[in-house]
Amino acid sequence: MTLRIALILGSTRPGRRGEQIATWALEAARAHGGADYELIDLADHDLGNLDEPGNPNFQQYQHEHTRAWGELIDGFDGYVFLVPEYNHSYPGALKNALDYVYREWNDKAAGIISYGGWVAGARAAEALRLVLSELQVATVRTQPTIATHPSFHTGAFVPQEGLDTAVNGMLDQVIAWAGALRAVRQAKKQTSTAA
């Protein structure tokens, strides 16, 4: 079965630069190949603030929007997070989306493309890595970064030199880990059904 990788646009802010980056990243991923890629724009999902009364580890969801979100997330083998830096971290909308479900994220691989001011979103990516590790998501080492000042100097996104190489390297790692972790998930499923 072909691996499925979701590119998750982690900002819902009106006028965000992330839409242009996401469009470019999706095209770059599809050109890279090795998996089926799909863009998930958090702005298209009406999650609102976390409103599930129970622990997401038990998957006893009360709301249809949570069940739909969980089913969507569960259908992927890995993720690429497109994350801007807001105040030395990543947007609250992304944290909220991560917190809605738990098991659906487990034993998957992820890459991070960060963007922002002079440090190109690096602090947001590091903060995100901490949360992803708690969700049992294995993040890969290669991390493409986009400094918004030179990349948007014309108003439109212009990838800087070397970004293609970094994205391809990250995708190679995500694909390798996603394939390995699919086997882990399958082994866990077999163990739980045999018990």
136 near 163, Cβ under 8 Å?
Answer: no
At 71, which CATH number?
3.40.50.360
Q: What is the pLDDT of residue 26?
A: 98
Q: What is the pLDDT of residue 195?
A: 65
192 near 106, Cβ under 8 Å?
Answer: no
Q: How many domains does the chain have?
A: 1
Percent with pLDDT over 70 in the chain: 99
Q: What is the pLDDT of residue 155?
A: 87
Strands 137-139 and 78-84: unpaired
In this predicted structure, which of 151-155, 162-166, 184-188 has the lowest mean pLDDT?
A: 151-155
- With CA atoms as reference, report the closest residue to 40 among 79, 92, 98, 96: 79
pLDDT one-digit tens code per residue, 92-148 = 999 999 999 999 999 999 999 999 998 999 999 999 999 999 999 999 999 999 999
Domain residue limits at 18: 4-194
Would you tell me the crossing angle of helices 92-100 and 122-134 to the nearest 10 degrees? 10
- With CA atoms as reference, report the closest residue to 109 among 132, 126, 128: 132
